[in-house]
Structure 1
Amino acid sequence: MKHTWRWFGPVDKVSVRDAAQAGAEGIVSALHHIETGAVWPVDEIDKRHQEIKQGGLYWDVVESVPVSEDIKTQTGDWKAHIANWQETLRCLSASGIRTVCYNFMPVLDWTRTDLRWETRHGAKAMRFDLTDFAAFDIDILKRPDARDDYPDWLVEEASIRFSEMPDTKIIALGLNIGAGLPGSADGYTLDQLLEKLRTYQGVDRLKLQSNLIDFLSQVVPVAQEVGINLCAHGDDPPWPLLGLPRILSTQADYAHMLGQVDSRANGVTLCTGSLGARDDNDLPFIAKTFADRIHFVHLRNVTRDTDTVPCSFFEDEHLEGGTDMVAVIAVLLEEEKRRRAEGRQDHRIAMRPDHGQEILDDLSRGAQPGYPAIGRLKGLAELRGIERSLLHPSYGRV
């Protein structure tokens, strides 16, 4: 696989040179400062390429070209935004980009209640606490009818939790849950979040699925024409939040998306952490099922408090948690072998060590939550070790 590293641009406290020293071969980045829905200007794309080259690496994967809420709801300027998305693909392809990751999560991107939860050995990790989230939804955000979305026992537990919650925790929950895309300056106040939720009235799961297929029907032909592989990132966490539907949470969800727009350019970002938050997602099996359409991989692991859906979980070390990482990597290496035999130019699948616990000097660096230097270096080293072992001629399986 091609080992890559997410970099949020010049504001990132972990540099491209840090990534190279950690063992990365390429960079995953995006133009977070460009307004959602607008075309990415050629000069800004070229500027990002140059910034990455100065650090000694190359820009291999775009994560993400944001999909606007107008596109997801098919309201407002959604047709213009799709046209701009198509033009952005043309501009990126002309600059040499061949892989573009995106997501179709309504309003909220990946959602955590705690961005720096302390683990058993003092590392800091991201966590989704279901009771805290319910308390936020019912008692802090005060979303109408929120209570109806939770079982009685959880409503009661959330009420007790909220009654004991200090003001600092209440403020932190609002900031953490209302945050925008990683790396962006976007985010929502409570009032703004409620207003965004209202724009989804009448958009149920089937409607959102239909809007995704409409979007893909228009952008995939352009991607195919200019030689770009699109890859959809799954919902994180993989279940409905704040009354909003989720449509890329399971194997069946991905099968529907890939079957409706059947093109190699319409592919998957296999995120073992996002899908792994559900006990009913078998990651090695999912990897094998969609192997031909996997264009990008996020390797990370989560430990669930329970095997229910939904549940509380935290970002564990890369080789811990509920996902059999060795089995997943073995499947991906087999797919690369198959692609090489087929003569495919995209036989190397880009992967990155996703998220990571803050350890050692990370604890004082203040990097983007989930994206520390040493924690990801440790994860990448472990994942590379698995890959080398599986490929070794004397002991390998692949």
Structure 2
Amino acid sequence: METNDVLMTQTMRWFGPADPVRLEGIRQAGATGIVTALHDIPNGEVWPRLAIAERRALIEAAGLEWTVVESLPVHDELKTGGPRAPALIEAYKESLSHLAAEGIRVVTYNFMPLLDWTRTDLAYALPDGALALRFEWEAVAAYDLHILCRRGAADDYAPEIVEAAGRRFAAMDQTERDRLEATILAGLPGAEESFTSASFLAAIADYATIDAERLRANHVAFLEAVCPHADTLGIRLVVHPDDPPFPIFGLPRIVSTEADLATLFASVPHDSNGLCFCTGSLGARADNDLPGMIDRLGERIGFLHLRAVEREGETAFHEATHLGGSADMPAIIAAVHRLSTASGRSIPMRPDHGHQMLDDLGRVTNPGYSLIGRLRGLAELRGLEQGIAYATAPPGATTANRRASWSRRGQR
């Protein structure tokens, strides 16, 4: 007897041929799919079909599938509604056509102004000796107030944070100040842009008239222009939530809460308008009910980032183990399993932001994307999902049939 279980498609992110993690290592970790992008192509330019085909062939030669694009960047002029927006829309649609022609059906993007995802420490030491990514509001304030020197920045922080940031900056030597600046502006893998503090300050000025309402309207305009084309291609565009999920450097955030997402999907109800459900980004806010959001928004979810953060108050957090931290990962995976089984969809997932640990501590790695920490996370998540599937399977599903079903999925 076959079970009715539908399990997630296990993937890992790979940053292309320059990634220190090799494809064969990802396959040995148990993943069957790769999530990647053509990071060498500047934002706004068309992704050539030949370049997509060459990347796909490289991945398939290693016995893996290219299942998800992360990300096809949205140029900042689309976020601000700049004069080149119509031409940028056409370029985006052409890239989608080329991806669809090569079999890609899930395309991730974000609508965060200027910075993609932001951390203040890329090597936060944990009690067990592993290293994690961390975000700390006081460190952001120290950079914003004393390195970036953004006009009016003090108004965005509580007085006690302004004072603490001043003390912290004064205690830092130049190496520490340079490290903080690089971490915020250019230290993260997969970031869509990199800046100097001077160019970042100039770019912030382009958003002087863009508040949350205007940014939301520009997001809707982008989707209304692109989604009809994506619908015809059979592509699902999945938006990544804001990371961190609150305003930073005076820039608005509009994809941070369930209300934000519900508004987005109501405004643009096209089938192609979907969600990359990131449990870490959304989980950095205590007011986001992650299992409930999966239950309520599940039909829109086309991709899963599974990680857990340990919240340190309202505006600080670090990456925890995948089954630890502030997230209730068993409840989250149970909700995903209900969604997958009810819809018959094997949703692609990836273990996100693993700890740097064991032998990877002595290797050059992309922050958050060393292999061993993600291997640990994938193994934990795989075991959790299979345990939930086992516990919820109908009585007639035998252990042998379950094993056969899971084995076939692992060999795809």
TM-score normalised to structure 2 length = 0.92
Structure 2: which amino acid aligns with 1:148? D
Question: SS at the partner of 1:47?
Answer: helix
**1:393, CA displacement in angstroms?**
5.8
1:355 and 2:359 matched: no
**1:78, CA displacement in angstroms?**
1.6
**1:185, CA displacement in angstroms?**
8.1
**1:180, CA displacement in angstroms?**
7.3
**Residue in structure 1 matched with residue 317 of structure 2 by the alignment:** 313
**Residue in structure 1 matched with residue 16 of structure 2 by the alignment:** 9
**Residue in structure 1 matched with residue 400 of structure 2 by the alignment:** none
Alignment check: 8 A CA contact 2:188 2:367 kept: no
**Whole-angstrom distance in 1 between the partners of 2:253 and 2:391:** 43
**1:392, CA displacement in angstroms?**
1.1
Distance change in 2, residues 1:159/1:221 (3 Å): same
**1:182, CA displacement in angstroms?**
2.6
**Whole-angstrom distance in 1 between the partners of 2:188 and 2:273:** 22
Structure 2: which amino acid aligns with 1:321? G
**Residue in structure 1 matched with residue 340 of structure 2 by the alignment:** 336
Alignment check: 8 A CA contact 2:117 2:191 kept: no
Alignment check: 8 A CA contact 2:137 2:316 kept: yes
Cα shift readout 1:195-241 (whole Å, capped 9, x = no counterpart): 11011010000000000000000111111100001100000000001
Alignment check: 8 A CA contact 1:266 1:293 kept: yes
**Residue in structure 1 matched with residue 403 of structure 2 by the alignment:** none
Distance change in 2, residues 1:27/1:56 (3 Å): same
Alignment check: 8 A CA contact 1:108 1:180 kept: no
1:52 and 2:49 matched: no
Report percent identity of matched pairs: 47
Choose 137-146 or 331-340, whichever is displaced more.
331-340
User: Among residues 379, 383, 392, which one is paired with 2:381 in the alignment?
Assistant: 383
- Provide runs of 4+ in structure 1 moved above 2 Å: 180-186, 393-398
| Structure 1, unpaired ranges of 5+ | 341-346
Alignment check: 8 A CA contact 2:116 2:191 kept: no
**Residue in structure 2 matched with residue 343 of structure 1 by the alignment:** none
**Whole-angstrom distance in 1 between the partners of 2:194 and 2:101:** 31
Choose 79-88 or 202-211, whichever is displaced more.
79-88
**Whole-angstrom distance in 1 between the partners of 2:24 and 2:165:** 45
User: Among residues 59, 64, 84, which one is paired with 2:71 in the alignment?
Assistant: 64
Question: SS at the partner of 1:5?
Answer: strand
After TM superposition, the structure 1 = structure 2 runs for residues 198-347 of structure 1, keeping only pairs within 5 Å, are: 198-306=205-313, 308=314, 311-340=315-344, 347=345
After TM superposition, the structure 1 = structure 2 runs for residues 9-28 of structure 1, keeping only pairs within 5 Å, are: 9-28=16-35
**Whole-angstrom distance in 1 between the partners of 2:322 and 2:96:** 32
**Whole-angstrom distance in 2 between the partners of 1:396 and 1:57:** 32
Alignment check: 8 A CA contact 2:116 2:192 kept: no
Structure 2: which amino acid aligns with 1:199? D
**Residue in structure 1 matched with residue 365 of structure 2 by the alignment:** 367
Question: SS at the partner of 1:178?
Answer: helix
| Structure 2, unpaired ranges of 5+ | 1-7, 398-412
**Whole-angstrom distance in 2 between the partners of 1:92 and 1:69:** 22
Alignment check: 8 A CA contact 1:3 1:23 kept: yes
CA RMSD of aligned residues (A): 1.5
**Whole-angstrom distance in 1 between the partners of 2:148 and 2:187:** 16
Distance change in 2, residues 1:182/1:79 (3 Å): farther
**1:305, CA displacement in angstroms?**
1.0
Alignment check: 8 A CA contact 1:33 1:184 kept: no
Distance change in 2, residues 1:46/1:58 (3 Å): same
- In the alignment of these two chains, the number of paired residues is 389
1:162 and 2:169 matched: yes
TM-score normalised to structure 1 length = 0.95
Question: SS at the partner of 2:108?
Answer: strand
Cα shift readout 1:259-316 (whole Å, capped 9, x = no counterpart): 100122101100000001111111111111101110000000000111x2xx111011
Structure 2: which amino acid aligns with 1:122? G
**1:104, CA displacement in angstroms?**
0.3
**Residue in structure 1 matched with residue 404 of structure 2 by the alignment:** none
**1:186, CA displacement in angstroms?**
4.0
Alignment check: 8 A CA contact 1:236 1:274 kept: yes
Question: SS at the partner of 1:290?
Answer: helix
**Whole-angstrom distance in 2 between the partners of 1:150 and 1:287:** 33
Alignment check: 8 A CA contact 2:244 2:284 kept: yes
**Whole-angstrom distance in 2 between the partners of 1:79 and 1:180:** 31
**1:394, CA displacement in angstroms?**
7.3
Alignment check: 8 A CA contact 1:389 1:395 kept: no
Question: SS at the partner of 1:176?
Answer: helix
**Residue in structure 1 matched with residue 406 of structure 2 by the alignment:** none
